């Protein structure tokens, strides 16, 4: 498998301030190939953002990667020193955070915030960095806006423009993998469409891989090649986007997609939005069986005591469920 | 639990400190003005457990002091005379509160023995006794000043926060005038208005109250902030909507929050007013001889000979630091508790 | 620009208010310089009465206040009866000395506090932070008066630097450079006392301001782009924290002026402090008034400067 990134059995836990440990990731397996877009779908609290931060090793201080491996371009990220990691961050591996309004420094010109990334990784002089930053802005902001944008401060920009600046930061050093953590969640619908258009163009270039975290299946359908669905800190099913969206196998994914992509017409009186009964498990405890067991409509006896593990691991599509052994 | 332990230590330390100062007469072996003319600048008396013959004793005793026979400065212990330390001894009468007096002291030695645990000053007065009595005045000054500042501040702050509009505007603009002066300049300016010569301690404490009255601005602004935010909070709005009177809202929703703030502010203000007393007395604008305060006890520290030879006269400075440490600690503890309550 | 003008007008009104209040209070105070003069047997009661008439002591206070304001505008600040000269001529050299002291101390205190606060913020919760926090807690509990007495003791013990005054005896004949060296030696003790008295307070504030910024999402994001810690601190975190640090600057000037008053008296530095004390003891109202007013001017000016700096440093405020 010539994968760019392989995540193998990743466990992350947080130690709470009042004692108690929160298990955010409980053995995540996934891989990303060069040039492809992997979508990650999941409810809030399923561990999507923790996964993104783990990849860059920018988790908060109370978090700990307790087990597993992350192999990126043939190197295990967990064995790199902080210094080596810093050489990768922004240069080979970059992240687009959730809220562009909060992820830009309010007292720094946006152009300078892009050149700061260039400065950290490329040895070119200040003038060339500036030209480079202006070029990226020009590319991402159509019309004449790009160049004049350099001198602007974040509060002078619209949400869409701010997000383009953040994307420009991520693209600046031409990384091979970009992790976008719900890049449109903080934007309104019209701006969201604009930003998705930017991603569509970037995808068409096929020059870099993306991990696109979202809870919106329509974004997955348009932008991703493959999808991994997370539940309670595990990837329960992954496979080609089309296959997952049309023929989901895991009972949770079936239920989730039924909620998110209502097939039936809701205008019919008496029809309710579908929900999955029950709530996700308490992340402080560890269950011996399948995490989804208490809510599962297709559960069998084994599910309570034993964890199914990954089925069909060698193929492109995998599912963690005894039904597909 | 270590947090709990720390709080217990803090509270017992503060309690001990305050009791020792409030009942200075009991803890001090001598009166603050009692002179021992033959023993000026005596070093702290040593407590012994072993006598000249090398025998161990179960209870500490002291020797009396003799001036050096060769005529040089300093004293030697007269090992022939031993006076055991005694607890709850009868001594000079002292005032507890108002007309009540007592004459039992915590410790002492039988006459003609002398015990100066912190040494004596140039008149042979016991430094420990002077520190305890002096601390009482300084602490009173701190508490009185802080009470004055807080009561005026709380009253005007509640008024200002509760009746917004011109009342609020007038109070807040006036507070800006008082905040436009650096604190010590304000203290001096107020002191300049009052009579220059102070006859008694009571008169001086009255000064401190006046100073406190002038320092209302900062507490008032803090209280106003609390009142405004409490008013904005929906429980108060809901209470108004249900027809609760202004008084009810004030009494049950706003005042409980202010108490905590006042306590925290008091922990900050008391040391500040102790310092006001210390500064004024140090500069000769407060209480003067023979009455000791922590301020005028620091005056000898300006003399080179004292700094070089009579180190025990610097002990009042350490007492002051100790009091400050305790109060700072209390204020950070209170603030942390306040933060936890808020969140 | 409107904001700047408004701030300026506000400062002027504030100073006028302070002057009116303190003038009213001081003139209501019992005892004045003439009472002190009357105690002097060498001055006849007639002479005192003549002086009183000359200075218009018996006029109502609004009239005297108006006279005084006019005098302030001429830079005279009234006439000092005990010094027998215009207050202005007394005031300016003293004010210059106080400003020299506080300015140097401000610079030193900030030079200590900013790096220290940053190091503590970067090591939050670890032993270096706890050690630093402990030291600042102890320094914070040492009143400036005790601090300066301790330094005085150190100076007396070691004889490393002079323990008081501004120049050595006979320094008038020295060359300029020798004189500057003499002045620098005399500055060490007061500046050190002032800076050490203020720094712990600043350190705490810098630590919390920098900590808050370091936790901000935009710095997490900058870290995610592989920007090094040193660069993050001085290029990203410091400008973002500048806002609260500049507000603190205005505040710290007030604290420094207060402390300076005390330290000047103890170390006999010829600044406003000893002048005010002497004037108080002589009941020389005009001098007291002038010093109080000048301190208010310094404080208000300090805040005004901080405000302008804020305007200059924060693009969000500039936009409003």
Contacts of residue A88, defined as CB under 8 A and 6 or more positions apart, other chains included, come to A72, A77, A80, C226
Report the chain A residue with the minimal C-alpha distance to residue C232. A116
> Same domain, yes or no, for B210 and B107?
no
Tell me whether residue A243 is in a domain.
yes
| Chain-chain contact of A107 with C239 (C-beta, under 8 angstroms) | yes
Does residue B223 form part of some domain?
Answer: yes
Contact B321 C143 (CB under 8 A): yes
Higher model confidence: residue A53 or residue A18? A53
Long-range Cβ contacts of C153-158 (<8 Å, 24+ apart):
C153/B301, C153/B307, C153/B314, C155/C189, C156/B304, C156/B307, C156/B308, C157/B307, C157/B308
How would you write the pLDDT of chain C (320 residues) with one tens digit per residue?
A: 677 788 888 888 888 888 888 887 777 766 666 666 666 667 777 777 776 666 666 677 778 888 888 888 887 777 777 777 888 888 888 999 999 999 999 999 999 999 999 999 998 878 888 898 888 888 888 888 888 888 888 887 777 777 777 777 666 677 778 778 888 888 888 999 999 988 998 998 999 899 989 888 899 889 888 888 888 888 899 888 888 888 888 878 888 888 898 899 888 889 899 998 888 888 888 888 888 888 888 888 888 888 888 888 887 777 65
Structure tokens at B286: 């407060």
- Least CA distance to B183: which residue of chain C? C258
User: What's the rounded Cα separation, in Å, for the pair B310 and B122?
Assistant: 10
* Top-confidence residue, C26 or A74: A74
Whether B196 and chain C come into contact, CB under 8 Å, resolves to yes
% pLDDT > 90, chain A: 14
Q: B202 with B69, same domain?
A: no
Report if residue B98 sits inside a domain.
yes
Task: Say if CB A23 and CB A284 are below 8 A apart.
Answer: yes
Does pLDDT of B1 surpass 50? no
DSSP assignment letter at B44: P
Euclidean distance between the first and the last CA atom of chain B, given in angstroms as a whole number = 20
**Average of pLDDT values for B103-111?**
80
In the predicted model, is pLDDT for residue B250 greater than 80? no
Do B259 and B324 have their domain in common? yes
In a domain, B73, yes or no: yes
| C265/B314 Cβ within 8 A | no
CATH, residue B226: 1.10.3720.10
List chains touching B (3+ CB pairs under 8 A).
C
Whether residue A169 is predicted with pLDDT greater than 70 in this model: the reply is yes
Q: Give B242's pLDDT tier (boundaries 50, 70, 90).
A: low
Contact check, Cβ <8 Å, C226/A120: yes
Distance CA B273, CA B265 (A): 12
Task: Please indicate if any CB of chain C lies within 8 Å of the CB of B182.
Answer: yes
DSSP C59: S
Tell me the shortest Cα–Cα distance from C318 to chain A, in angstroms.
11
B126 and B116 in contact (C-beta within 8 Å)?
A: yes
pLDDT digits (tens, 9 = 90+) for C59-71: 777 788 888 888 8
In a domain, A138, yes or no: no
Report yes or no on A151 lying in a domain.
Answer: no
At which of B63, B86, B115 does a domain end?
Answer: B115
> Within a domain: residue A291?
no
Residue B189, classified by CB atoms within 10 Å of its CB into exposed (0-12), middle (13-18) or buried (19+), is buried
The 10s digit of each residue's pLDDT in A260-309 is: 776 655 555 655 566 777 777 777 766 677 878 778 777 777 777 777 77
Residue ranges making up the domain that contains A24: 5-92+175-263
Terminus-to-terminus CA distance in chain A, angstroms?
23
- Separation between Cα atoms, residue A144 and residue C73, nearest integer Å: 56
Per-residue confidence (pLDDT) for residue C118, from 0 to 100: 92
Arithmetic mean of pLDDT, A24-49: 88
Range list of H helices, C123-216: 127-141, 144-158, 176-214
Residues of chain A positioned with their CB less than 8 A from the CB of C224: 56, 58, 89-90, 94-95, 97
CB contact under 8 A, A107 and C319: no
Q: Summarize pLDDT for B195-234 with one digit per residue, the tens.
A: 777 777 777 787 788 888 888 888 999 888 888 877 776 5
What are the pLDDT digits (tens) for B152-203?
999 999 888 877 788 888 998 888 888 888 888 888 888 888 777 777 777 7
Q: Quick one: B78 and B195 in the same domain?
A: no
**Would you call C220 an interface residue with chain A, using a CB distance cutoff of 8 Å?**
yes
* The pLDDT of residue C18: 86
Domain holding B111, by residue range, is 45-115
Instruction: Report if residue B249 sits inside a domain.
Output: yes
Q: How many domains does chain A have?
A: 1
ipTM here: 0.83
Is it the case that residue B16 has pLDDT exceeding 50?
Answer: yes
Q: Which of A87, A97, A121 sits opposite C221 (nearest CB)?
A: A97
Q: Characterise A233 by phi-psi region: left (phi > 0), alpha (psi -120 to 50), beta (else).
A: left
Indicate if the pLDDT at residue B9 is higher than 70: yes
Which among B275, B317, B328 has CB closest to C140? B328
Q: Which one of C225, C235, C314 has the shortest CB-CB distance to A90?
A: C225
Q: Do B141 and B283 lie in a common domain?
A: yes
| A146 domain-assigned | no
**Nearest-angstrom CA–CA distance, C48 and C34:** 7
Q: Which of A108, A69, A96, A41 is nearest to A259 (CA)?
A: A41
Beta bridge partners of B105: B89
Question: For residue A60, is pLDDT > 80?
Answer: yes
Q: How confident is the model at residue A216 (pLDDT cuts 50, 70, 90)?
A: confident
Residues B84 and B140 occupy one common structural domain: no
pLDDT at B277 over 90: no
Q: Which of C142, C255, C277 sits opposite B321 (nearest CB)?
A: C142
Instruction: Give chain A's mean pLDDT.
Output: 83
| Mean pLDDT, chain B, integer | 81
Structure-block tokens of residue A60: 């908060």
| Domain architecture of chain C: domains with CATH | 2-87 (no CATH), 94-318 (1.10.3720.10)
Q: A interface mutation test: which of C214, C216, C218 has the most A CBs within 10 A? A: C218
Joined together, the tokens standing for residue C290 give 């002038």
Count of Cβ atoms closer than 10 Å to residue A257 Cβ: 19
- The minimum CA-CA distance between C158 and chain B, rounded to whole Å, is 11
Q: Can you give the pLDDT at residue A177?
A: 93
Helix (H) or strand (E) holding B83: strand B75-95
How many angstroms separate the CA atoms of A258 and A275, rounded? Answer: 8
Chain C partners within 8 Å of A180 (Cβ): none
Q: How many contacts does A have with C, using Cβ atoms within 8 A? A: 85
Asked if residue B32 belongs to a domain, the reply is: no
Highest mean pLDDT among A13-22, A121-130, A143-152, B270-279: B270-279
pTM of the model: 0.81
Give yes or no: residues B150 and B80 share one domain. Answer: no
Do residue C138 and residue B325 have CB atoms under 8 angstroms apart? Answer: yes
B180 with B317, same domain: the answer is yes
Judgement on whether residues B107 and B193 belong to the same structural domain of the protein:
no
Residue A96 to chain C, least CA–CA distance (Å): 8
Q: Looking at the 3D structure of chain B, how many domains does it have?
A: 2
> Would you put residue A70 in left (φ > 0), alpha (ψ -120 to 50) or beta?
beta
Chain A touched by C227 (CB under 8 Å): yes
Assess whether B95 and B202 both reside in one domain. no
Flag whether B35 is in a domain.
no
CATH number at residue A187: 3.40.50.300
- The reply to whether B181 falls in a domain is yes
Q: Does B321 touch chain C (CB under 8 A)?
A: yes
Q: Looking at the structure, do residues B203 and B336 belong to the same domain, yes or no?
A: yes
Based on the fold, state whether residues B273 and B153 are members of the same structural domain: yes
Answer whether A142's CB lies under 8 Å from A164's CB: no
Q: What residues of A are in the C interface, CB distance below 8 Å?
A: 56, 58, 61, 86-91, 94-95, 97, 99, 102-108, 113, 116-117, 119-121, 153, 155-156, 166, 169-170
Q: Both tokens of residue B335?
A: 């603030």
Is residue B25 assigned to a domain? no
Residue pair A83/C227 in contact (Cβ under 8 Å)? The answer is no
**How many helices (H) and strands (E) in chain C?**
14, 2
* Per-residue pLDDT at A314 exceeds 60: no
Structure confidence at residue B246 (pLDDT): 67
């Amino acid at each position: 498998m010539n994968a760019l990134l392989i995540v193998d059995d990743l466990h992350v836990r947080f130690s709470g301030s009042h004692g108690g440990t929160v298990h955010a990731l409980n053995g995540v397996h996934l891989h990303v190939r060069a040039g492809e877009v992997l979508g990650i779908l999941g409810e809030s609290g399923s561990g999507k953002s923790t996964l993104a931060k783990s990849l860059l090793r920018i988790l908060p201080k109370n978090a700990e990667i307790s087990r597993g491996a992350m192999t990126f371009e043939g190197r295990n990220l967990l064995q790199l020193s902080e210094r080596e990691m810093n050489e990768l961050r922004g240069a080979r591996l970059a992240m687009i955070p959730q809220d562009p309004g909060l992820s830009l420094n309010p007292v720094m010109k946006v152009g300078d915030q892009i050149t700061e990334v260039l400065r950290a990784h490329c040895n070119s002089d200040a003038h060339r960095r500036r030209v480079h930053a202006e070029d990226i802005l020009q590319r991402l902001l159509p019309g004449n806006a790009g160049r004049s944008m350099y001198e602007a401060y974040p509060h002078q920009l619209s949400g869409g423009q701010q997000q383009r600046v953040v994307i420009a930061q991520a693209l600046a050093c031409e990384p091979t993998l970009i992790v976008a953590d719900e890049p449109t969640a903080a934007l309104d619908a019209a701006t969201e469409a604009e930003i998705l258009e930017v991603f569509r163009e970037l995808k068409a270039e096929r020059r870099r891989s993306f991990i696109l975290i979202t809870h919106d299946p329509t974004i997955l359908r348009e932008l991703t090649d493959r999808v991994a669905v997370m539940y309670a800190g595990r990837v329960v099913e992954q496979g080609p986007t089309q296959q997952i969206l049309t023929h989901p196998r895991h009972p949770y994914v079936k239920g989730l997609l039924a909620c998110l992509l209502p097939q039936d017409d809701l205008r019919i009186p008496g029809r309710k939005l579908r929900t999955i009964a029950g709530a996700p498990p308490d992340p402080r405890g560890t269950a011996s069986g399948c995490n989804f067991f208490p809510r599962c409509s297709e559960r069998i006896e084994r599910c309570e005591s034993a964890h199914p593990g990954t089925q069909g691991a060698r193929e492109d599509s995998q599912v963690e469920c005894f039904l597909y052994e | 639990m270590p947090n709990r332990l720390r709080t217990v230590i803090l509270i017992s330390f503060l309690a001990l400190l305050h009791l020792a100062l409030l009942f200075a007469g009991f803890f001090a072996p001598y009166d603050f003005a009692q002179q021992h003319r033959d023993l000026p600048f005596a070093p702290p008396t040593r407590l012994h457990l072993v006598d000249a013959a090398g025998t161990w004793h179960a209870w500490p005793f002291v020797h009396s002091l003799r001036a050096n026979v060769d005529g040089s400065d300093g004293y030697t212990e007269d090992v022939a005379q031993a006076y055991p330390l005694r607890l709850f001894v009868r001594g000079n009468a002292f005032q507890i509160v108002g007309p009540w007096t007592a004459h039992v002291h915590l410790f002492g030695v039988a006459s003609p023995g002398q015990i100066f645990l912190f040494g004596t000053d140039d008149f042979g007065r016991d430094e420990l006794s002077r520190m305890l009595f002096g601390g009482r005045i300084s602490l009173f000054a701190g508490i009185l000043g802080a009470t004055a500042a807080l009561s005026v501040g709380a009253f005007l702050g509640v008024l200002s926060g509760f009746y917004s509009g011109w009342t609020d505007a007038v109070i807040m603009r006036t507070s800006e005038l008082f905040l436009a002066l650096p604190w010590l300049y304000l203290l001096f300016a107020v002191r300049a208005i009052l009579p220059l010569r102070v006859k008694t301690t009571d008169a001086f404490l009255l000064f401190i109250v006046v100073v406190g009255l002038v320092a209302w601005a900062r507490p008032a602004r803090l209280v106003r902030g609390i009142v405004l935010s409490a008013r904005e909070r929906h429980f108060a709005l809901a209470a108004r909507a249900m027809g609760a009177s202004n008084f009810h809202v004030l009494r049950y929703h706003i005042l409980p929050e202010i108490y905590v703030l006042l306590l925290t502010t008091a922990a900050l203000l008391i040391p500040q007013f102790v310092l006001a007393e210390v500064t004024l007395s140090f500069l000769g604008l407060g209480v003067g001889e023979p009455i000791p305060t922590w301020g005028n006890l620091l005056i000898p520290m300006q003399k080179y000979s004292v700094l070089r030879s009579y180190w025990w006269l610097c002990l009042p400075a350490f007492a002051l630091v100790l009091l400050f440490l305790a109060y700072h600690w209390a204020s950070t503890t209170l603030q942390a508790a306040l933060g936890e309550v808020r969140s | 620009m409107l904001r700047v003008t408004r701030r300026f007008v506000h400062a002027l009104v504030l100073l006028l208010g302070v002057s009116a209040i303190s003038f009213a209070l001081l003139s209501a105070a019992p005892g004045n310089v003439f009472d002190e003069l009357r105690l002097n047997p060498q001055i006849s009661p007639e002479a005192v009465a003549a002086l009183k008439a000359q200075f218009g002591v018996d006029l109502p206070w609004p009239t005297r206040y108006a006279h005084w304001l006019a005098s302030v505008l001429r830079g005279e600040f009234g006439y000092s009866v005990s010094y027998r000269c215009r207050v202005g001529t007394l005031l300016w050299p003293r004010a210059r000395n106080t400003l020299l002291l506080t300015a140097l101390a401000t610079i030193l205190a900030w030079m200590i506090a900013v790096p220290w606060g940053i190091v503590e913020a970067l090591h939050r919760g670890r032993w270096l932070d706890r050690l630093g926090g402990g030291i600042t807690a102890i320094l914070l509990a040492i009143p400036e008066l005790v601090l300066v007495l301790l330094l005085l003791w150190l100076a007396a013990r070691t004889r490393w630097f002079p323990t008081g005054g501004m120049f050595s005896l006979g320094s008038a004949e020295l060359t300029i450079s020798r004189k500057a060296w003499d002045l620098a030696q005399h500055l060490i003790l007061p500046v050190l006392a002032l800076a050490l008295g203020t720094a712990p307070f600043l350190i705490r504030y810098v630590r919390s301001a920098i900590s808050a910024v370091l936790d901000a999402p935009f710095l997490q994001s900058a870290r995610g782009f592989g920007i090094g810690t040193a660069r993050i601190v001085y290029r990203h975190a410091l400008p973002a924290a500048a806002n609260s640090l500049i507000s603190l600057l205005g505040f710290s000037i007030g604290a420094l002026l207060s402390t300076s008053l005390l330290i000047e008296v103890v170390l006999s530095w010829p600044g406003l402090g000893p002048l005010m004390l002497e004037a108080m003891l002589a009941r020389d109202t005009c001098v007291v008034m002038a010093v109080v007013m000048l301190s208010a001017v310094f404080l208000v000016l300090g805040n005004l400067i901080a405000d302008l700096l804020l305007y200059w440093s924060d693009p969000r405020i500039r936009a409003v």
